[in-house]
Structure 1
Amino acid sequence: MRQPKKIICLAVDDEPLALSVLEQYIDRVPQLQLAAACNTAVEALSALQHHAIDLLFLDIQMPQWLGADFIKTLTDPPKIIFTTAVHKFVVEGFEENAMDYLLKPISFDRFIKTVNKVMETDLSTTPTQNLFTEKETTDPHLYFRADRKMIKVSLADILYIESLKDYIRVVTQTKNIITRKSISSLEETLPPQAFIRIHRSFIIALNKIESYNSEMVEVAKKKLPISRMYKHEVGRVLKLEA
């Protein structure tokens, strides 16, 4: 059986964390292939000259060269999905013929829906059927025992997990769940491309980080410490300066 053509992607964002999230999401989808990940529009221009890019993930706001201005320089641009942390810049993105946009922090579910939507608009290069199977688009989740029942929690809703000795607190966008479980055993069940342990007492969702430095990570307005034990791995993932 003939394998479907890979969709060659280019990701451009000046924020290391945002770029890392895009890299991880693209890697999770078998139909997508990342050709390059760039921190600047200048690097992206070089990548476009060396690769046949089908789909460009482009940050609207970047220093030196704005994403919207960069697009104007391309004579034959690929399909474009703008990314932005500020909703008001979405209009500007669509004025430059972007196919869709992703509002940061980007959830994997939203990423999948946007890619499906964009690729289905061009029937000359893409089959009309959905690019992703139902299994791949199903929202990943876990069940936790609390209040004498099993509670379903979407991984996309988790902000961070806190250890409470023999218990853990799962902090989501809408509720907190306290359940008897060790943080280490939970860590083994979480996808490493979406979560990282920063301390003996804390695991955080990478795409929920609001700010960070070499000492702490801020999630949902709460500053969580980075311990010495996990500092090297956190620094590698977040590309912290030494």
Structure 2
Amino acid sequence: MPATDLEPTTTAPLRCLVVDDDPIAVQIVSNCVKNTPFLELAATCSSALEAADVLRSQAFDVLFLDVEMPQMSGLDLLRTLPDPPQVVLVTSSESYAIQAFEFSVADYLLKPISYPRFLQAAQKVAEAVVASRQAEAEAAGPAAPADQAAEFTFVKVDSRLVRVNFAEVYYVEALGDYVHIVTTGHKYIVYSTMRAIEEKFPAHRFVRVHRSFIININFVQALEDSSLLIKDKYIPVGQTYLRGLLQRLNKL
């Protein structure tokens, strides 16, 4: 199944939870998620009971949920969630369609799932997430001016907390379960996720340009084709992130 270059409708990939008691179905949906640039496979569960525990301890943007499961059905799970993420029901039966709309699910996928139909549902979910976030931002009022934003953070390196000044950070690179924070004077390997970095680092200064890179726009020296230059480092730019980067650069 080829990856798509479809432009995402969100800045960061949406965290997805896949729930199905059929391992093959879990694998199929997981592969679809992995091949969609604006989605991120965060976790999978083999039962609604397991998913209930995971949803209490982690935050997700999208829930791909099977309906017919033993002990607790997917619809039963939804009834227990006071504030569920965007939900896409996945089932082999059309008989749950009416109930699905009662729960205001984003979409309803029938097995066997084709990737084009999955992508259609994913786009619908992404648009819903963007609309929800915009509504929340408007309700919260205008953001604080950039000069009032925090100018540093502390990161844990080994057993120490180290201060990192945002103005000195060149870029952040994903390294499995860790990130590599490269500054003007140091390089730090920190146990973190790119999502956490995006939430912590100020948006007026940093932008994600690739699944594995977040860069400080103040240090961009050149941009050509599918890479940019910061100091002596060429950093790849994903096609799905290019438009957002160009909008952030102060160009003629």
More helix by share: 2
